[in-house]
Amino acid sequence: MKGWKVVLVILLVLIADQVLKVSVKTSMYSGEEVSIIGNWFKFHFTENKGMAFGLELGGEMGKLALSLFRILAVIGLGFIINKLIKEKAHWGLVLSVGLILAGALGNIIDSAFYGVIFENSDIFMKNIAKPFPEEGGYAGFLHGNVVDMFYFPLFRFPSWVPWLGNTVFFGPIFNLADVSISSGVFIILLFQKRFFSSVRQRVIDNSIENTTNHGHDI
């Protein structure tokens, strides 16, 4: 039953992530900003070529390497989830790994297909991206950009603060997939003792059961 639950969670995160990204991409210019709650929560449409929260690897080869790494990571996470379910690990641990996998998948879809599907979006040219343009998309397979939109510029440090003057506190722009990955990692770190003691106990119980069964066979 755990398997179906985690698949459902992954699908829900994926659908919500992609609906939001496509909505932003087809209704806003790249670089456009819309206030949601005052000046501290905004939709700021940006496209990043790299990792979560706008971090980047250099050049086209860096972009390709990152896309391939994401794919390998998703495959690895899938095997881990399958193993955790078979070992009857704590549901919270299975769910957390599922959230990480869902977020990674969400960003893979962007980098794999958005460059092929969409045209460029540019605030200066007043061009909103349209899907399936006649002249083709803005990039090849696995070379698309990841769509980000959540922006929480909670406050700006005063100019007199050393090293941080005039910088925005919590300036990264991110998406729902990034939130899913971060949430999964945070939950694992927060409840690691409970999660992994459950796994260790399961291993001990299995070892005792196997030893007992072998003893009966003798």
Q: Which residues carry out catalysis?
A: 148, 178
CA distances from 138 to 60, 125, 145, 187 (A): 14, 15, 10, 37
Place of tokens 């796994």: 199
Per DSSP, the residues of 63-94 read HHHHHHHHHHHHHHHHHHHHHHHHTT--HHHH
The secondary element (H helix, E strand) that includes residue 155 is strand 155-156
Cα separation, 155 vs 168, in Å, equals 6
Q: What are phi and psi of 61, to 5 degrees?
A: -65, -40
In terms of C-beta density within 10 A (0-12 exposed, 13-18 middle, 19 or more buried), how is residue 55 classed? exposed
Cα separation, 49 vs 15, in Å, equals 22
- Which letter does DSSP use for residue 138 in this model? S
Q: What are phi and psi of 173, to 5 degrees?
A: -110, 130
